[in-house]
Structure 1
Amino acid sequence: MSIRPSAPTAAVERRRIEDLPSLRDMELFVTVVQCGNFSAAGRRFGLSPASVSRYINALEDRLGVRLLNRTSRKLSLSDMGTLFYQRAERILNDVRDTQIEVTQEHVRPQGVLHVHSRLLVGLQYIAPALPAFLEQYPEISVDLTLSNEDVDIIENNIDVDIRIGTLADSSLIARKLVNSERILCASPAYLEGRPPINTPQDLLEHNCLTYKINLGGVNWRFLAEDGTLTEIPVKGSFRTNNGPALHIAMLQGLGLSLMPDWAVANELASGELVRVLPDYRISFTSFENAVYAVYSPTKHLPVKARVFIDFLAKHFQSVSV
């Protein structure tokens, strides 16, 4: 005769459920990890650092494991803390996505949409696209800030931040809008009568207009099809920290410059600019230069932001060189 284990009583099941971490526990823990300290996480939840510490201690007691290694200078994840963080972040994102999917069909996009963008992409693509977007969604108004400075999108209440290139902050959620590479180009007027450019070394004889990222010199990096990487210390009569200013100087025939492909697509198509050394991938920083829409994982993505990101993704599909 076999003995079947008795089913757990309702009281046992209730205790099991009560022992599970709540969504708020998970959200607080994930925020602590992303902020790196109790003080910043507490500000987002309206809690003191001591209260946040008590919540995390209680969560560790409930789970029976240490999640965070604490020193006087910093917090770090334990092995189990890393596992819990990854799972909790996934659960929170799933819950947010589910909530959006359930409610978005009944919510009209409306309200003020706060957008930050890098200057060049903002001037050339975001601002020109806004009239069509606002006509499609008349109950939305857009507050657009353009700058080349990194901004804290949470502290500055930014719904969507348009960024270019490698994303340093992995705690944010990013949706790629368009792949992009920097390309070398110049006006026909500049190239006429000057030495031909067949190799990267030929640029040493040319006026190279550069983007100022520090006080030192500028090296352009050339990646050949066979994987060979060459760095050239370029020089020229003009450098600036402003992309549109470089664009204007190049169009007026002052010299050659590196620009994102989407920034010069129209001029290349019309013949106002000519691409130089097309067989190389070229950069002065990273070769990753895609355009992203970035938003915070610690707050629900508003419907107004979701439709804006969807609109931009379709808008950028027409961008090509």
Structure 2
Amino acid sequence: MHDITDLRFFVTITESGSLAEAARRLDVTPSAVSQRLRHLEARLGMALAHRSTRRFVLTEEGLLFRDGVAAVLGDLDRLVENLRERSGEVAGTLNIGGSLGFGRRYLAPAIADFHARHPQLKVALTLSDALTATEAGRFDMIVHIGSLADSSMVAYPVAPNNRFICAAPAYLERRPAPRDPKELAVHDCIVLRENNEDVTLWRFHQRRQEVAVRVPAILSSNDGDVVKQWALAGKGLFVRSEWDVADLLATGQLVRVLPEWSLPNADVVALASARGAMSRRATLFLAFLQARFQPAPPWRLDLPKKGRGQGPGARG
């Protein structure tokens, strides 16, 4: 009979991808992880993984053991949660993933308020602009902006979010604002590299008319704050989510360009695995987020009427 901590230990190292990452998550040394894995293999009488200093690959027996252990632990966790639910307690650990900018500005404060309601709950928040489909399985939920790259995830609506083309007044003094999307081809443009998208191809629609424009990227970055700083400095036009620029538009630090044209929306959604139902703590957190951001998210509540009435924007 194996200790439950050994089973959770094995699941952790299989999710980590390397012994070094597993050691970081477990807050022990890599040698301690390696030694514990050897002891587990000795008790089982079989090799579970081929490992090197940088990574390890599960053997066929290791894959079977991992899948069986994950199923057992899942059943056990659901049993414990059902028992806690009967007493009205919300406990356990809620693993949430999110993007850096939105996560810092809106998701982290929401989690703090949710935790205040459920102090017995532990919440682990991981912020990254490069979460992969492979990593998604270790989260109860990922708060995501924009279209789905991985169709195996189920999307639950959290908040409406458009994207706008913006520029600083300093840039528009130097270069008159375009009146048609095709004029963007001769403007200085700043682009955000993300999600392996074709970031220099900007798509617009107006009623039944659709236009795609290849813009010249004089500056590009994978960091949204950097892109916004360049735009505020008057370096060029850029596309950014309304959650990130609504306050700057309201104060006049940025000006919306081509407001009559729309770009693809990038609503805020909560992604969860399609395998099985969400835990009660995840379901409660989703309901909390939806109540907090719907029907009008905070980036729309405090805008003057003219700021809200300039038509839909786009995504990012």
TM-score bucket of the superposed structures, by smaller chain? 0.5 to 0.7
In the alignment, the residues of structure 1 paired with residue 62 and residue 180 of structure 2 have an alpha-carbon distance, to the nearest angstrom, of: 51
- After superposition, what is the alpha-carbon deviation per residue over 1:151-181, rounded to whole angstroms, capped at 9, x for unaligned? 3477752111112222233332221111222
State the partner residue of 2:141. Answer: 160
In the alignment, the residues of structure 2 paired with residue 176 and residue 269 of structure 1 have an alpha-carbon distance, to the nearest angstrom, of: 26
The correspondence for 1:238, drawn from 210, 215, 219, is 219
State the partner residue of 1:32. Answer: none
CA contact (8 A) 2:200 2:217 kept: no
Q: Tell whether 2:114 aligns with 1:133.
A: yes
More displaced 10-residue stretch of structure 1: 109-118 or 299-308: 299-308
Structure 1 SS opposite 2:259: coil
Summarize the Cα distance change of 1:252–1:158 in structure 2 as closer, same or farther, 3 Å threshold: same
User: Match for 1:308: what amino acid?
Assistant: F
1:100-119 to structure 2, matched below 5 A, reads: 104=85, 106-119=87-100
CA contact (8 A) 1:224 1:279 kept: yes
Q: Tell whether 2:252 aligns with 1:271.
A: yes
CA contact (8 A) 1:195 1:205 kept: no
The correspondence for 1:302, drawn from 263, 279, 292, is 279
User: Match for 1:176: what amino acid?
Assistant: P
Give, in angstroms, the shift of residue 234 of structure 1: 0.9
CA contact (8 A) 2:186 2:216 kept: no
**What's the TM-score, normalizing by structure 1?**
0.62
Percent identical residues:
32
1:174-185 to structure 2, matched below 5 A, reads: 174-185=155-166
Give, in angstroms, the shift of residue 277 of structure 1: 0.5
* Structure 2 segments unaligned to the other structure (5+ residues): 1-59, 70-80, 301-307, 309-316
Question: Which structure: larger Rg?
Answer: 1
Q: Tell whether 2:288 aligns with 1:311.
A: yes
The correspondence for 2:269, drawn from 259, 281, 292, is 292
In the alignment, the residues of structure 1 paired with residue 63 and residue 274 of structure 2 have an alpha-carbon distance, to the nearest angstrom, of: 13
More displaced 10-residue stretch of structure 1: 120-129 or 208-217: 208-217
**What's the TM-score, normalizing by structure 2?**
0.62
In the alignment, the residues of structure 2 paired with residue 168 and residue 143 of structure 1 have an alpha-carbon distance, to the nearest angstrom, of: 24
CA RMSD of aligned residues (A): 3.3
Summarize the Cα distance change of 1:224–1:211 in structure 2 as closer, same or farther, 3 Å threshold: same
The correspondence for 1:187, drawn from 168, 171, 192, is 168
- After superposition, what is the alpha-carbon deviation per residue over 1:200-241, rounded to whole angstroms, capped at 9, x for unaligned? 12223321101225698712112122x222222211321012
Structure 2 SS opposite 1:237: strand
State the partner residue of 2:128. Answer: 147
In the alignment, the residues of structure 2 paired with residue 153 and residue 303 of structure 1 have an alpha-carbon distance, to the nearest angstrom, of: 24
State the partner residue of 1:46. Answer: 68
Work out the number of aligned pairs and report it: 229
More displaced 10-residue stretch of structure 1: 233-242 or 122-131: 122-131
- After superposition, what is the alpha-carbon deviation per residue over 1:269-297, rounded to whole angstroms, capped at 9, x for unaligned? 22222111011112xxxx24221111123
The correspondence for 1:220, drawn from 202, 211, 214, is 202
CA contact (8 A) 1:111 1:140 kept: yes
Q: Tell whether 2:229 aligns with 1:207.
A: no
CA contact (8 A) 2:177 2:257 kept: no
CA contact (8 A) 2:192 2:199 kept: no
In the alignment, the residues of structure 2 paired with residue 144 and residue 151 of structure 1 have an alpha-carbon distance, to the nearest angstrom, of: 16
CA contact (8 A) 1:206 1:255 kept: yes
* Structure 1 segments unaligned to the other structure (5+ residues): 1-37, 48-99
Give, in angstroms, the shift of residue 138 of structure 1: 1.8
- After superposition, what is the alpha-carbon deviation per residue over 1:101-134, rounded to whole angstroms, capped at 9, x for unaligned? 9974633222322111122321232123333222
Summarize the Cα distance change of 1:102–1:279 in structure 2 as closer, same or farther, 3 Å threshold: farther
In the alignment, the residues of structure 1 paired with residue 131 and residue 159 of structure 2 have an alpha-carbon distance, to the nearest angstrom, of: 20
Structure 1 SS opposite 2:116: helix
Give, in angstroms, the shift of residue 300 of structure 1: 4.1
